[in-house]
Structure formats: structure tokens, C-alpha cells
Amino acid sequence: MWRLMRRRHEVEAELAGEAAAAAAVAVTPTEPDQQAAAFFDVDNTMMRGASIYHFARGLATRGLFTTSDLFKFAVGQAVFRLRGNENPEHIAVARETALAFVAGAKVDDVIRLGEEIYDEVMSDRIWGGTRALAQSHLDRGQRVWLVTATPVELARVIAQRLGLTGALGTVAETSNGVYTGRLVGDLLHGPAKAEAMRALARREGLDLTRCTAYSDSANDLPMLSLVGQPVAINPDSELREHARKHNWPIKDFRTGRKATLTALPIAAGVGAVAGGIAAGIALRRHYRSTQG
């Protein structure tokens, strides 16, 4: 049974990767280096904390749900991470719950809210050091992609605001501009990120051995190991150990209090799921109030 479940998870990861690559929209550099690119994780790599959590915070300030709801989700994320329960079964259950709440929301509304909330809440949480690294790749004519479990619509907003090429993110199924409550494949998390990068490389003609990838989490080892130049940014203990063992560059932009604060809003799959549930609840309440 475990073999079947593992194979199913692998297939879902492949589907998620293909969907993310298909949904990616590129902005071509003026003088492009056609074969090289840089891939950046978002949560705690490009941005302090989890982007979807910050999105939920922005919804809370609009009165779409209560701050106590937000607190519960934040605590839930922390407990989930500390217990080490980030396995496919638990993520699948939480994912389905989140998607059930999001069903019926309009894509345009999510994009509009994402733009507003990025400007209000997220822009000040971008790591200056990581942003400079991304700009250095752009200055060399290389494309720069975000790779994140965050919904692709929100990931695109972040990429656009930062002037990057585009974003690979979790793709939710839509029909006539409305979310159906299903994913295309699975969350773009762990192995699915690597699958998305492979699919994008095939589409864009990239040589992955000439590409660079940046992440803070050992969950992203599949993505980091895929490229010729992996770099650990603000790494967790497992990734730091792995990077030292394999002589990967390590860059840490955290200092004192910031290092403590970034540990609470969870990155990767769990953060996207828990924050997605919070955002989903808010959007459902919003639609009910406007249609009631």
C-alpha cells in the first residue's frame, strides 16, 4: 500500500510540475542568456515568513475574518512543523480542506487582493540581500523565476512587483474564471518543484547545469540538487548541514530577532496549506456577504 501511495504522490508531483510550467509566463530580458536562469524559493528565502500567511493577514485587516482565526492558523503552522508531520497524507487532507473553502472564488478577485496586500504587507518583508542576488542574475541577462507552493496567481504578483521573469506556483483548477476547488496535480512542494523546473527547462531551452537555485529549506533539496549552482539562503539546520557537506554557498541575511521571527510563519507546503485555509475562509465569508 505504501508503494502505491508513494507512486501516486510521484505522479501528482509530475502533474503539478507540468501544470506550473505550463502556467508560467515569461518576461524576456533585453539581452538574454538563453541557457541560464536562476530559481528562487519564496518563503523565508525571498521573503521573511510565508507569503500566503501574509496574504491572510491582509485579508484580516479588511475584516474578511478575525485576528483570532489568523492566530489559530499561525499556531497550527508552528505545531505542524515542530511535530515533523509534513507527510503526504497530512498535507493531502489539509489541501482538500483548503480547496473546499476556495471553491467558487473569482480568480480576478484573488489577483486584485494579492496586488493590494503585497504593496501593503509583503513589500517590506523582502530580503534585500536575496533581492540583490536576483537582480545580479537579471543584470547578466538571465531569467529569474520564483518557485513556490504559494498559489501561482499570488506568486506572479510577487514576481511582477520585483521585476522578475515569472513564477512557478501551485496551480488550482479554474472554470470560467472561478476556482473549482481542485488542484492540477498537487501542491508545488518538494519533488514537484524540481519537476516544474525540468518542464520549464524543456520549454525554455535552459541548461540546468548552468542554472542557479536558492532556498532556505531541506524540503527543497530536489530543486537545489537539480541545478549546477545550488545556494542555501537563511537555511534551516538540515539544509545548512547538507550545504556544508557538499560545499554549497551559504548566505544568511537574518540577524537576531529576525531569525527568530522567520521561524514561526512556515514556508513550503504546510505554510501554503494552513494559510490557504485561512484565506479560503475569508474569501468564502466575503462572497457570502456580498451575495446575501
Q: Which residues are catalytic?
A: 41, 43
Phi, psi of 97 (to 5 degrees): -65, -45
Neighbours of 26 (CB within 10 A): 15
Contact 219, 190 (CB under 8 A): yes
Longest dimension (CA), the chain: 59
Length of the chain: 292
Residue 269's alpha-carbon distances to 110, 136, 238, in angstroms, are 19, 28, 17
Place of cell 534551516: 236
Q: Which helix (H) or strand (E) holds 256?
A: none
Residue 194's alpha-carbon distances to 63, 222, 247, in angstroms, are 37, 6, 21
C-alpha 150/C-alpha 23 separation (Å) is 14
Q: Which helix (H) or strand (E) holds 152?
A: helix 152-162
Task: Quote the cell numbers at residue 285.
Answer: 465569508
Q: What SS3 class is residue 185?
A: coil
Q: Hey, which residues does 215 pair with through a beta bridge?
A: 232
Pick the closest to residue 199 from 10, 16, 17, 15 (CA basis). 17
Per DSSP, the chain holds a count of helices (H) and strands (E) of: 12, 8
